Chain A
Amino acid sequence: MSLVTLADFAHARAGDKGNILSIAVFPHDAAHYAWLLQTLTCDRVAEQFATRQPSRVHRYELPNLNALNFVLEDALEGGVNRSCGLDRHGKSLSYLLLAMRLPGPAN
Chain B
Amino acid sequence: MTKTILVGCGAGFANDRPDAALRLAQDLAQRSGPRYIMLELLAERTLAEAQLRKRLDPQAGYSARLFDFLEPMLDLCIEAGIPIITNGGAANPKAAAQRLRQTLAGRFPELKIACVLGDDLLEEMPPRYEQWLSSDPQEQPVSVNVYTGADGIVQALAEGAGIVLCGRVADPSLAVGAIRHGLGWKADDWQKIAVATAAGHLLECCTQVTGGYFAHPGMKDIPDPANLGCPIAEIHEDGRLIIGKTRHSGGRVTEQTVKEQLLYEVHDPRRYLTPDVVLDLGEAHVRDLGEDRVEINGLLGHPRPETLKGLAGVRGLWFGEAEISYAGPGALARAALAREILLERFDRLAPGVQPWIDLSGVASLFNDQGGRYLQKQLAQAPALEDVRVRIGLTHTDRPLVETLLAEVESLYTNGPAGGGGVRRHLAEAVTTRSFLLPRDEIHTTLEWY
Which residues of A line the B interface, CB within 8 A? Answer: 7, 11-13, 15-18, 20, 22, 24, 26, 28, 50-53, 58, 60, 62, 64-67, 69, 71, 77-78, 80-87, 91-93, 96
B364 to A86, Cβ gap below 8 A?
A: yes
Residue of A nearest to B208 (CB): A13
Taking the nearest CB of chain B, how far is it from the CB of A73, in angstroms?
9
Using known A-B contacts A65-B263, A69-B263, determine if residue A11 contacts B432 with beta carbons closer than 8 Å: no
Using known A-B contacts A11-B216, A28-B219, A60-B269, determine if residue A67 contacts B368 with beta carbons closer than 8 Å: no
A13 to B264, Cβ gap below 8 A?
A: yes
Residues of chain A within 8 A (CB-CB) of B266 are 15, 22, 24, 69
Residues of chain A within 8 A (CB-CB) of B372 are 50-51, 53
A65 to B358, Cβ gap below 8 A?
A: no
A13 to B45, Cβ gap below 8 A?
A: no
Q: Mark B266-310, 1 if CB is under 8 A from A, else 0.
A: 111110000000000111111000000000001000000000000
A22 to B267, Cβ gap below 8 A?
A: yes
Partner of A67, one of B259, B356, B390: B259
- Determine if B414 is an interface residue (Cβ-Cβ < 8 Å): no
A87 to B365, Cβ gap below 8 A?
A: yes
Residues of chain B within 8 A (CB-CB) of A24 are 259-260, 263-264, 266
Residues of chain A within 8 A (CB-CB) of B298 are 64
Using known A-B contacts A11-B216, A84-B394, determine if residue A20 contacts B267 with beta carbons closer than 8 Å: yes
Within 8 A of A (CB), among B333-375: 355-356, 358, 364-370, 372-373
Majority SS of interface residues in chain A?
A: mixed
Query: Closest 6 A-B residue pairs measured CB to CB?
Result: A84-B392, A15-B265, A24-B263, A84-B356, A51-B372, A64-B285
Using known A-B contacts A13-B260, A15-B264, determine if residue A82 contacts B355 with beta carbons closer than 8 Å: no
Using known A-B contacts A51-B368, A77-B369, A84-B319, determine if residue A13 contacts B213 with beta carbons closer than 8 Å: yes
Residues of chain A within 8 A (CB-CB) of B265 are 15-17, 22
Q: State the CA gap A26–B432 with chains docked (Å).
A: 32
